[in-house]
Amino acid sequence: MRISTQTISLLKGERAIVAVTAYDAIVARYADQAGVDLILVGDSVGTTQLGFETTIPVTLEMMLHHTAAVARAQPKALVVADIPFAVAHGDFAELLSACCRLMQEAGAEAIKIEGGAAMAPTIERLTRAGIPVLAHIGLLPQQFHQLGGYRKFGRSEAEKVMLLDDALALEQVGCFAVICEMVDGAVAGAIAQALTVPLIGIGSGPHCDGQILVANDLLGMNAGYVPSFVKQYAQLGEQVTAAFAEYTQDVKNGKFPS
Ligand code: KIV
């Protein structure tokens, strides 16, 4: 049975929600066969697949391209597409059109938007228009230049209060779940308890209602920086290099084709 936004919401309190990113049909198919609940076509596609240093250069056209590839795998898992940098902060009609294109043209079943309580009025207009929204609080990678780098959130009392307010405001306007990135584990746990919708953590400890990881990080296929909270379940990067090296030697030595 296909997983809907309602399924995700109802999993809260039943069992941990399993989410992962994917950017193409092949990886989406593997993740789906493994039984993940939610596949996020994150704008992390920019850093993991497209060679950018941050997610900021990722455009709507890129998100449409990669979301369509994931949707073509026809996963049972819920397919969620990220709204790229700046699109959420401009004209509402443009944002609504971006959401509609991601759902109608590319096959996303929900969209994700970075931002806390300040985004709540915009998100309310989207949910009222029938767009299912996954919220994203804590570390917001699209604000990389404003933040001056990546760091943990919720360590001060003021940030703790702000994060809780953000999450409650986003629940209030109809988000079906909230992603919480790089938030202090105890604070994330308190937010999860305060919400009726699921809180899905990344780098936010074990007390969330589910976890999400970037596929390239967990598969060991990340050429750059790997966050310390990541558990690598494979070292595919090393295996891929070894396979290419063996092929190179075989061709050079006349062993392939035999
Ligand atoms: O773009 C992305 O992959 C994300 C996850 C880190 C949650 O936003």
**Alpha-carbon dihedral 113, 116, 122, 125, rounded to 10 degrees:** 80
Substitution site in 38, 78, 82 for ligand 1 pocket (most atoms within 8 Å of beta carbon) = 82
Q: What is the mean pLDDT of residues 109-138?
A: 97
Active site residue 181: yes
Q: What is the mean pLDDT of residues 88-111?
A: 97
User: Could you identify the atom of ligand 1 that is nearest to the CA of residue 214?
Assistant: 3
Which residue, judged by its Cα, is nearest atom 8 of ligand 1? Answer: 42
pLDDT above 80: residue 224:
no
Q: How far is the CA of 257 from the centre of ligand 1 (A)?
A: 42
**Which protein residues touch ligand 1 with a CB less than 6 Å away?**
21, 40, 42-44, 82, 136, 179, 181, 202, 212, 214
Q: How far is the CA of 215 from the centre of ligand 1 (A)?
A: 10
Q: What is the mean pLDDT of residues 183-202?
A: 98
Higher-pLDDT residue of 227, 35: 35
> 201 lies in a domain?
yes
pLDDT above 90: residue 256:
yes
Provide the pLDDT confidence category of residue 255 given band limits of 50, 70 and 90: very high
- Return the pLDDT at 37: 98
Which residue, judged by its Cα, is nearest atom 2 of ligand 1? Answer: 42
pLDDT above 80: residue 126:
yes
User: What is the number of residues in the chain?
Assistant: 258
> 133 lies in a domain?
yes
Q: What is the mean pLDDT of residues 223-238?
A: 91
- Return the pLDDT at 146: 81
With a pLDDT cut of 90, the percent of the chain lying above it is 90
- pTM of the predicted model as reported, rounded to 2 decimal places: 0.97
- Return the pLDDT at 144: 79
Copy the structure tokens of residue 30: 């593997």
Q: How far is the CA of 151 from the centre of ligand 1 (A)?
A: 15
CATH number at residue 72: 3.20.20.60
Which residue, judged by its Cα, is nearest atom 6 of ligand 1? Answer: 214
Distance between CA atoms of 134 and 249, rounded to whole angstroms? 47
Provide the pLDDT confidence category of residue 86 given band limits of 50, 70 and 90: confident
Q: How many domains does the chain have?
A: 1
- Residues 134-187: tens digit of each pLDDT: 999 999 988 878 877 788 999 999 999 999 999 999 999 999 999 999 999 999
Q: How far is the CA of 142 from the centre of ligand 1 (A)?
A: 10
For 69, the enclosing helix (H) or strand (E) is helix 60-72
Distance between CA atoms of 183 and 203, rounded to whole angstroms? 7
> 244 lies in a domain?
yes
CB atoms near residue 65 (< 10 Å): 15
> 63 lies in a domain?
yes
Domain with 31 in it: 5-252
> 239 lies in a domain?
yes
Dihedral angle sign, alpha carbons of residues 87, 106, 4, 222: negative
> 257 lies in a domain?
no
Query: Which candidate, 102, 150, 92, 146, places its Cα nearest to that of 123?
Result: 92
Whole-number average pLDDT of the chain: 96
Query: Which candidate, 225, 200, 215, places its Cα nearest to that of 137?
Result: 200
Substitution site in 17, 27, 40 for ligand 1 pocket (most atoms within 8 Å of beta carbon) = 40
How far from 96 is each of 12, 32, 42, 92, 192, CA to CA, in Å? 28, 28, 18, 6, 29
Q: How far is the CA of 42 from the centre of ligand 1 (A)?
A: 5
Which residue, judged by its Cα, is nearest atom 4 of ligand 1? Answer: 42
- Return the pLDDT at 219: 97
Token pair 């939610």 is at which residue? Answer: 38
- Return the pLDDT at 244: 98
111 and 102 Cβ atoms separated by less than 8 Å: yes
> 246 lies in a domain?
yes
Distance between CA atoms of 106 and 228, rounded to whole angstroms? 33
> 258 lies in a domain?
no
Task: From the candidates 53, 181, 238, 246, give the one annotated as an active-site residue.
Answer: 181
Q: To 10 degrees, what angle do helices 92-104 and 120-128 make?
A: 50
